[in-house]
Amino acid sequence: MSFEPRIIGILCNWCSYTGADLAGTSRMKYAPNVRIVRVMCSGRVDPTFVLKAFQQGADGVLIGGCHPGDCHYSTGNYKTARRIPLLKKMLDQLGIEDGRVRLEWVSASEGDRFQALANEMTEQVRALGPFRPAAPSKPAAMEVAALAAG
Amino acid sequence: MEDNNGKGKTRERIGVYVCHCGSNIAGVVDCPAVAEYARSLPDVVLARDYKYMCSDPGQTLIKDDIKEHGLTRVVVASCSPRMHEPTFRRACEQAGLNAYLFEMANIREHCSWVTDDKAKATEKAKALVSAAVRRVVWQQPLQTREVPVTPAAMVIGGGVAGIQAALEIADAGFKVYMVERDPSIGGHMAQLDKTFPTLDCSACILTPKMVSVSQHPNIELLAYSEVVDVQGYVGNFKVKVKKKARYVDEEKCRGCGICEEKCPGRVPSEFEEGLGKRKAIYRPFPQAVPNIPVLDRDNCLYFQRGRCRVCERFCDSNAIDYEQEDRFVDLDVGAIVLATGYDLFDASADMRYGYRRLDNVISALEFERMCNASGPTAGRILMANGKEPKSVAIIHCVGSRDTNYHQYCSRVCCMYSMKFAHLVKDRVGHDTKVFEFYTDLRAFGKGYEEFYNRVQEEGVTFVRGRPAEVTDVPETIDEVGKLIVQAENTLVSRQVRIPVDMVVLSGGLEPRSDTAEVARMFNISRSQDGFFLERHPKLDPVASMTDGVFVAGCCQGPKDIPDTVAQAAAAAVRAVGLMNKGKIQVEAATSMVQAELCSGCRVCNKLCPYSAITFDEEKKVSVINDAVCKGCGVVAAACPSDAIVSRHFTDAQILAEIEGVLV
Ligand code: FES
């Protein structure tokens, strides 16, 4: 059987979650691998959430926010846009490949875009294989655990 | 109740309800299996599956269980929380359970509707239920706050939609500020000559309403003004409006029009679509409301060359004021109705039809002005050479139903095109040949099909096909000096070349060019076609996603006048309802700083987009103002000491949800 990645989608309430709702209302089929957790704004996404997801066995994390300028709280997504690249640098050091975390903007009317992203992300993570911290970076994996717990 | 730290040890009593939603969910997800699975989760004391949880019996089920089984938490797995969260929260509350102890798992929009594979859908539904169950344990009761609603509304846009909305609200007894960007209200409807299908004179039915706006004791008209900033939230908006300098003192001006008469500057009139001229100091049209001219600085001799001041000399009331400056006013309103209208598709974008390149190819609004008795040609349909056309082609769907421009149907072009055909026959003579090039004819409204029949009987030729081009290059002797419309008549699969004297392009309606900025300013979304997005396409076409902001007319999507008026009245009722209540419940899910953990680093102070965070110099900790906080949670994610709690979206709740979804 092929590997079925487990992907967490952390989506902001106003645009990307609504966009995912629209994909549903329009009956757009996409990979069932993406499971959605709602936050009010993408700016609420604490790097810990991403670490926790990997610690709990996720293979990928998709973070969704409103398009730049469209954040319901005016600038939350700008903060996300600055935080995630930093987080990715850290993940890299922990041995978590770049392709496992993605930050994307999806508007409330872009159901098709969400569908495409969910499929893309699933394939991308499938290609990377299951998330297993590499052996030499075991301390790193523990670090992940420690960070997530803390 | 329980201490948060004791979680995991304290047992909650959770009830889980899995909704079938008819076959919407149950057709794909094995609901009994999901309920069965839920029973195995920690703290779950009962789990049921039911046909329609949102129905009365469904809600009663929850209420009875809360009472009988002493539930302390409730999870409903059904549709999106954006749909029915309020419904279930209310049910919980009626049974005495705090609304925030309820959680929803979205197994319809995010599961059954997007997955074909039944096994995988069921597995996903289980994961989502597991996430909700684990999250709900950490949820805490919160109290919603009540704030007063300012009993005044703002209507933005003074076209027929805005006018209708403003009058309805004002008649209901509330103060209305109407903001219009142009020097006069009236919008596009004021430019139209006749309205289909009754052929009422547009101005005759609109002008009385415009006058009512200016005379209504409850309406304050801010014409030649623009909204520049919007702050606050439902019930309590603070809007900053820029009143652009008119260089005419509104208090002193009596609207006699002498300044206009004497002004030597002449420029193309926007209202006449450039077909006629206006002065540098002008009212866009004779029935303008307010009846006060505007001095167009860019074209004024005095402002440009330092000499003239003719208007000042002739004005008896000393109303001309060259020193006037833009003014800013701050207004408090409880509700906002956006009625900002549309732009006509610029036909020059579609090069094939030769608009602005070939003489006698004209736009729909130019045609309207030409037909109007007070328009540039005094109501005569004339070619560039001043003669009447002997044949006219009208091309439908220019810029609409065209993947190169707009995919949508603009809903009015079929009808106004047929009105044009009638007007040509009426004004130029019944022997004038008129060709309608249409894609499909959409005569859906009351009296529309009848009008279509009437126009057919008047001898108009209908050609089904979208023209490939309009050219002035003749191929035969008959075509010399003519405009030739090349098209395929798709009903008979034959190419046709029809030489005519005049071509009218029936352009579609498109979002205003600044829709994106306006949407941002009012914090609302746009649909894929660029128009403002309504809260629900079927059940709430007048509200926006932002509470207290309503939409009316073509800014929400193309529509004809009756639909516009109906939507505007509906938006007005919603605004009135809100103000009538006098009070509004606001979100309890705000953020707070746990003072004992705050290190006083002030990182959060600058991050808050609403400046809700201040620093308590005495205690050396940051403090969040509950009334201003909107609960985005941005600072909770940033606090290095984890001192900020984003209520209802706490770290513990989200982490538990992540853990749950990955079981
Ligand atoms: S609300 Fe969507 S990113 Fe802030």
Q: Where are the domains of chain A?
A: 7-149
Q: Give the C-alpha separation, A54 to B658, whole Å.
A: 10
For residues B104 and B18, membership in a common domain is answered with yes
DSSP label at residue B253: -
Distance B516 CA to ligand 1 centre (A): 16
For a mutational test of ligand 1's pocket, the pick from A72, A74, A79, i.e. the residue with the most ligand atoms closer than 8 A to its C-beta, is A72
Distance from CA of A137 to the nearest CA of B (A): 23
The answer to pTM > 0.90 is: no
Residue B27 burial (C-beta neighbours within 10 Å; 0-12, 13-18, 19+): middle
Amino acid at A37: V
Distance B243 CA to ligand 1 centre (A): 32
* Mean pLDDT (whole number) for B53-76: 97
The contacts of residue B478 (CB under 8 Å, 6+ apart) are B499
* Long-range contacts of the stretch A139-147 (C-beta < 8 A, 24+): A140/A93, A140/A94, A140/A95, A141/A94, A141/A95, A143/A94, A144/A51, A144/A54, A144/A55, A144/A94, A144/A96, A145/A55, A147/A48, A147/A51
What's the pLDDT at B2? 38
Q: Which two tokens stand for residue B614?
A: 């201040």
**A77: Cβ below 6 Å to ligand 1?**
yes
* Mean pLDDT (whole number) for B56-81: 97
- On whether residue B520 sits in a domain, the answer given is no
Q: Give the C-alpha separation, B529 to B409, whole Å.
A: 11
Question: What is the number of domains present in chain B?
Answer: 4
pLDDT category at A1 given cuts 50, 70, 90 is low
- On whether residue B633 sits in a domain, the answer given is yes
Residue of B nearest to A75 (CA): B609
What's the pLDDT at B1? 38
Distance from CA of B50 to the nearest CA of A (A): 21
Higher pLDDT, B233 or B407: B407
* Mean pLDDT (whole number) for A15-32: 96
A:B CB pairs within 8 Å: 144
Q: Where are the alpha helices (DSSP H) in chain A?
A: 16-25, 47-55, 76-93, 111-128, 138-149
pLDDT category at A143 given cuts 50, 70, 90 is low
What DSSP element (H or E) covers B121? helix B118-136
Amino acid at B562: P
**A15: Cβ below 6 Å to ligand 1?**
yes
Q: Which two tokens stand for residue B385?
A: 């050479």
Distance A76 CA to ligand 1 centre (A): 6
Domain span holding position B294: 245-325
> Cβ contact (<8 Å) for A44 and B609?
no
- On whether residue B158 sits in a domain, the answer given is no
Q: How far lies B11's CA from each of B40, B67, B631, B663, in Å?
A: 14, 17, 29, 20
Whether omega for the bond prior to residue B197 falls within 30 degrees of 0, making it cis, is yes
Listed residues B98, B119, B138: the one ending a domain: B138
Nearest 10 degrees: Cα torsion B269, B270, B271, B274: 60
For residues B312 and B397, membership in a common domain is answered with no
Q: What is the pLDDT of residues B551-561, one digit of tens each?
A: 999 999 999 99
Distance A62 CA to ligand 1 centre (A): 14
**A72: Cβ below 6 Å to ligand 1?**
yes
Q: What share of chain B in percent tops pLDDT 90?
A: 92
Q: How far lies A80's CA from each of A59, A85, B607, in Å?
A: 21, 9, 12
CATH of the domain at B355: 3.50.50.60
What's the pLDDT at B545? 84
Distance from CA of A110 to the nearest CA of B (A): 7
Is residue A136 classed as helix, strand or coil in its secondary structure? helix
- On whether residue B518 sits in a domain, the answer given is no
For residues B497 and B643, membership in a common domain is answered with no
**A18: Cβ below 6 Å to ligand 1?**
no
Q: What share of chain A in percent tops pLDDT 90?
A: 79
* Mean pLDDT (whole number) for B295-299: 96
Residue of B nearest to A115 (CA): B114
For residues B252 and B361, membership in a common domain is answered with no
Q: What is the pLDDT of residues B166-181, one digit of tens each?
A: 999 999 999 999 999 9
Q: How many CB atoms lie within 10 A of CB B390?
A: 15
- On whether residue B133 sits in a domain, the answer given is yes
**A43: Cβ below 6 Å to ligand 1?**
yes
Nearest alpha-carbon partner for B243 in B294, B300, B283, B309: B294
Who among B520, B533, B637 is closest to A46 (CB)?
A: B637
Higher pLDDT, B607 or A148: B607
For residues B423 and B474, membership in a common domain is answered with yes
Contacts of A78 in chain B (CB under 8 A): none
Residue of B nearest to A18 (CA): B82
The contacts of residue B295 (CB under 8 Å, 6+ apart) are B246, B247, B248, B280, B281, B303, B311, B320
Residue of B nearest to A20 (CA): B110
Out of A9-23, A124-138, B181-195, B400-414, pick the least confident.
Answer: A124-138
Contacts of B658 in chain A (CB under 8 A): 8, 37, 49, 52-53, 56, 58
> Cβ contact (<8 Å) for B634 and A36?
no
Q: Do residues B449 and B456 lie in contact, with contact meaning Cβ atoms separated by under 8 Å?
A: no
Asked if the model's pLDDT at residue A141 lies above 70, the reply is no
Which ligand 1 atom is at minimum distance from the Cα of A12?
2
**A19: Cβ below 6 Å to ligand 1?**
no
pLDDT category at B317 given cuts 50, 70, 90 is very high
- On whether residue B544 sits in a domain, the answer given is no
* Mean pLDDT (whole number) for B432-437: 98
> Cβ contact (<8 Å) for B131 and A83?
no
Amino acid at A88: K
> Cβ contact (<8 Å) for A27 and B113?
yes
Measure CA of the first residue to CA of the last residue in chain A; give whole Å.
36
Contacts of B610 in chain A (CB under 8 A): 73
**A91: Cβ below 6 Å to ligand 1?**
no
> Cβ contact (<8 Å) for B525 and A25?
no
Asked if the model's pLDDT at residue A150 lies above 70, the reply is no
Residue to test with chain A: of B130, B532, B634, B649, most A Cβ within 10 A:
B634
Listed residues B510, B525, B557: the one ending a domain: B510
CATH code at A7-149: 3.40.50
Asked if the model's pLDDT at residue A43 lies above 90, the reply is yes
For a mutational test of ligand 1's pocket, the pick from A11, A14, A107, i.e. the residue with the most ligand atoms closer than 8 A to its C-beta, is A14
What's the pLDDT at B294? 97
Out of A69-73, B8-12, B445-449, B633-637, pick the least confident.
Answer: B8-12
Q: What is the pLDDT of residues B180-227, one digit of tens each?
A: 999 999 999 999 999 999 999 999 999 999 999 999 999 999 999 999
Q: Which two tokens stand for residue A80?
A: 């996300």
Q: What share of chain B in percent tops pLDDT 70?
A: 98
Q: Give the C-alpha separation, B417 to A104, whole Å.
A: 44
The contacts of residue B507 (CB under 8 Å, 6+ apart) are B344, B345, B346, B347, B363, B364, B398, B399, B400, B413
CA triple B41-B651-B46, angle to 5 deg: 20
Q: Do residues A77 and A36 lie in contact, with contact meaning Cβ atoms separated by under 8 Å?
A: no
Q: Give the C-alpha separation, B166 to A51, whole Å.
A: 52
DSSP label at residue B7: B
Distance B598 CA to ligand 1 centre (A): 26
The contacts of residue B298 (CB under 8 Å, 6+ apart) are B304
> Cβ contact (<8 Å) for A21 and B109?
yes
> Cβ contact (<8 Å) for B115 and A29?
yes
Q: Give the C-alpha separation, A102 to A96, whole Å.
A: 12
What's the pLDDT at A136? 46
Amino acid at A31: A
Q: Give the C-alpha separation, B92 to B76, whole Å.
A: 11
Distance from CA of A136 to the nearest CA of B (A): 25
Which ligand 1 atom is at minimum distance from the Cα of A65?
3
Contacts of A115 in chain B (CB under 8 A): 114
What's the pLDDT at B523? 86
Distance A71 CA to ligand 1 centre (A): 4
Distance from CA of A1 to the nearest CA of B (A): 14
For residues B316 and B390, membership in a common domain is answered with no
> Cβ contact (<8 Å) for B637 and A43?
yes
For residues B56 and B86, membership in a common domain is answered with yes
Residue B115 burial (C-beta neighbours within 10 Å; 0-12, 13-18, 19+): buried
Q: Do residues B50 and B111 lie in contact, with contact meaning Cβ atoms separated by under 8 Å?
A: no
Asked if the model's pLDDT at residue B3 lies above 90, the reply is no
CA triple A9-A14-A16, angle to 5 deg: 35
- On whether residue B173 sits in a domain, the answer given is no
DSSP assignment of B508-559, as one string? -EEE-TTHHHHHHHTT--B-TTSSBPPSBTTTBSSB-SSTTEEE-GGGSS--
What DSSP element (H or E) covers B225? strand B225-233
Distance from CA of B545 to the nearest CA of A (A): 8
Who among B528, B634, B654 is closest to A37 (CB)?
A: B654
Nearest alpha-carbon partner for B576 in B218, B155, B234, B152: B152
> Cβ contact (<8 Å) for B109 and A75?
no
For residues B498 and B597, membership in a common domain is answered with no
Is residue B161 classed as helix, strand or coil in its secondary structure? helix
Q: Give the C-alpha separation, B487 to B484, whole Å.
A: 10
For residues B362 and B306, membership in a common domain is answered with no
Q: How many CB atoms lie within 10 A of CB B204?
A: 11
The rounded mean pLDDT for chain B is 95
Contacts of A110 in chain B (CB under 8 A): 528
Asked if the model's pLDDT at residue B4 lies above 60, the reply is no
DSSP label at residue B108: I
pLDDT category at B489 given cuts 50, 70, 90 is very high
> Cβ contact (<8 Å) for B655 and A69?
no
**A41: Cβ below 6 Å to ligand 1?**
yes
Distance from CA of B641 to the nearest CA of A (A): 11
What's the pLDDT at A42? 97
Q: Give the C-alpha separation, B129 to B41, whole Å.
A: 10
Nearest alpha-carbon partner for B114 in A68, A72, A143, A31: A31
Q: List phi, psi (to 5°) of A51.
A: -60, -45
CATH of the domain at B93: 3.40.50.960
For residues B349 and B477, membership in a common domain is answered with yes
What's the pLDDT at B482? 97
Distance from CA of A123 to the nearest CA of B (A): 16
Contacts of B116 in chain A (CB under 8 A): 29
Q: How many CB atoms lie within 10 A of CB B31?
A: 24
Out of A33-37, B200-204, B439-443, B522-526, pick the least confident.
Answer: B522-526
For residues B376 and B502, membership in a common domain is answered with yes
Contacts of B128 in chain A (CB under 8 A): 35
Characterize the bridge pairing of strands B461-464 and B433-438. parallel
What's the pLDDT at B609? 83
For residues B386 and B483, membership in a common domain is answered with yes
> Cβ contact (<8 Å) for B82 and A79?
no
Q: Which two tokens stand for residue B605?
A: 């102070």
Contacts of B645 in chain A (CB under 8 A): none
